């Protein structure tokens, strides 16, 4: 095969391997055998007459020629895919296998409120969810269409994503989706038993549900307008899952933090939680998304458009029904 006969499909295969830095991960994303993918890349290199990928390390690296080729070809391939999808949209809606990575904690309160309605609206999209605890930087090299992560926040150990918005060296795009206010909640029975805190300092006399029981997570910073107070907190329990935290608070065991989010309202209502220290909030929580490139397929755009309202604050009618609102 000569350079003049290089096929666009082979360039697309190279771009996929270069993005994933792995033949096996790229083969999974492309749904083809790893051996076939490796052979096609070898043929592309022979046709061009240059080595594009160094294969002598566990994590593949691009040669100087490969990096230059990638920078010119990635946009071309993304645009070609977008054009193909736009043609498909003329005869139907979004379709295909959508791979989404998110922390288990986020999935527990987002998916039950979302996925049934989403699949009914987009029956041709098959959803595959990965709930592992990989870091966002690791996830950039795996075959996911969407990677959701909590933002960097010392109170939330699930945070792994670099909060600097922009495009990474791999072409992945990192964006902040939403920054959620974070409030304190407890059950009526807990407050009847232990009294209701009236000031941030009163929290030192209460059971407070932290994410981990260690010194680094034994202080909460509360905000009221321009005023901030850093308060030492203690408690017999800790959990880094917001659904579990809501359940434990509903069992009258502690005061917990919960983001002010539409998808979490059912958890607050189900556990009959009441907001305490209503004039105060704790440090907000950000949710970030990582896309493999700046051009998102129709299935990705449909999913993100669908979940964004769930990640935002509750609607006024939801807040009116919330206990202690």
- Continuous segment of H or E residues that includes residue 189: helix 188-194
**How many other CB atoms are there within 10 angstroms of residue 314's CB atom?**
18
Asked if 138 and 216 sit in the same domain, the reply is yes
CATH number for the domain spanning 103: value is 3.40.190.290
Asked if 103 and 202 sit in the same domain, the reply is yes
Asked if 104 and 62 sit in the same domain, the reply is no
Kindly report, residue by residue over 166-204, the tens digit of the pLDDT.
545 456 788 899 999 999 999 999 999 999 999 999 999
Using a pLDDT cut of 70, give the percent of the chain over it.
81
* Whether residue 3 has pLDDT greater than 50: no
Final residue belonging to a domain, choices 57, 89, 121: 89
Asked if 148 and 63 sit in the same domain, the reply is no
Kindly report, residue by residue over 209-231, the tens digit of the pLDDT.
998 888 878 999 999 999 999 99
pLDDT value at residue 159: 37
Asked if 45 and 173 sit in the same domain, the reply is no
Q: What does the block give as tokens for 107?
A: 């999935």
CA distance 144 to 106: 17
Kindly report, residue by residue over 277-312, the tens digit of the pLDDT.
999 999 998 999 988 877 788 899 999 999 998 888
Asked if 33 and 54 sit in the same domain, the reply is yes
Grouping H, G, I as helix, E, B as strand and the rest as coil, residue 298 is helix
Domain count of the chain? 2
Asked if 234 and 315 sit in the same domain, the reply is yes
Here the contacts of 58-66 (C-beta below 8 Å, separation 24 or greater) are: 59/21, 59/22, 60/17, 60/21, 60/22, 60/23, 61/21, 62/18, 66/14, 66/18
Kindly report, residue by residue over 94-145, the tens digit of the pLDDT.
888 999 999 888 898 888 878 989 999 999 999 999 987 665 555 555 678 8
Final residue belonging to a domain, choices 46, 69, 89: 89
Higher pLDDT, 258 or 158: 258
pLDDT value at residue 154: 35
Final residue belonging to a domain, choices 38, 62, 89: 89
Asked if 249 and 266 sit in the same domain, the reply is yes
Using a pLDDT cut of 90, give the percent of the chain over it.
37
In the numeric block, the tokens 């809606």 are attached to 93
Asked if 143 and 38 sit in the same domain, the reply is no
CATH number for the domain spanning 18: value is 1.10.10.10
Q: What is the mean pLDDT of the chain?
A: 82
pLDDT value at residue 278: 92
Range of the domain at 44: 3-89
């Amino acid at each position: 095969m000569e350079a003049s006969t290089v096929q666009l499909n082979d360039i697309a295969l190279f771009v996929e391997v270069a993005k994933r830095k792995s033949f096996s991960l790229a083969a999974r994303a492309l749904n083809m055998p790893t051996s076939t993918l490796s052979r096609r890349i070898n043929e592309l290199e022979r046709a061009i007459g240059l080595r594009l990928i160094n294969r002598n390390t566990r994590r593949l690296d691009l040669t100087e020629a490969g990096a230059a080729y990638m920078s010119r070809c990635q946009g071309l391939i993304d645009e070609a895919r977008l054009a193909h999808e736009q043609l498909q949209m003329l005869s139907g809606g979004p379709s295909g296998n959508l791979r989404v990575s998110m922390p288990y904690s986020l999935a527990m309160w987002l998916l039950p409120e979302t996925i049934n309605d989403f699949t009914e609206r987009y029956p041709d999209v098959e959803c595959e969810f990965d709930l592992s605890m990989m870091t966002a930087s690791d996830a950039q090299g795996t075959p996911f269409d969407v990677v959701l992560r909590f933002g960097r926040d010392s109170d939330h150990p699930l945070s792994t994503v670099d909060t600097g918005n922009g495009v990474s060296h791999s072409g992945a795009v990192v964006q902040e989706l939403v920054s959620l206010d974070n409030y304190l909640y407890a059950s009526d029975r807990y407050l009847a038993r232990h009294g209701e805190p009236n000031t941030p300092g009163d929290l030192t006399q209460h059971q407070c549900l932290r994410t981990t029981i260690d010194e680094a997570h034994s202080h909460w910073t509360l905000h009221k307008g321009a005023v901030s107070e850093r308060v030492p907190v203690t408690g017999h329990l800790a959990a880094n899952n917001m659904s579990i935290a809501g359940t434990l608070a509903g069992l009258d065991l502690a005061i917990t933090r919960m983001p002010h989010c539409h998808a979490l309202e059912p958890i607050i209502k189900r556990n009959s939680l009441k907001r305490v220290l209503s004039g105060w909030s704790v440090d907000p929580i950000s949710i970030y998304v990582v896309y493999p490139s700046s051009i998102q397929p129709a299935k990705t755009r449909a999913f993100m458009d669908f979940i964004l309202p769930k990640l935002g604050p509750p609607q006024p009618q939801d807040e009116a029904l919330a206990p202690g609102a």
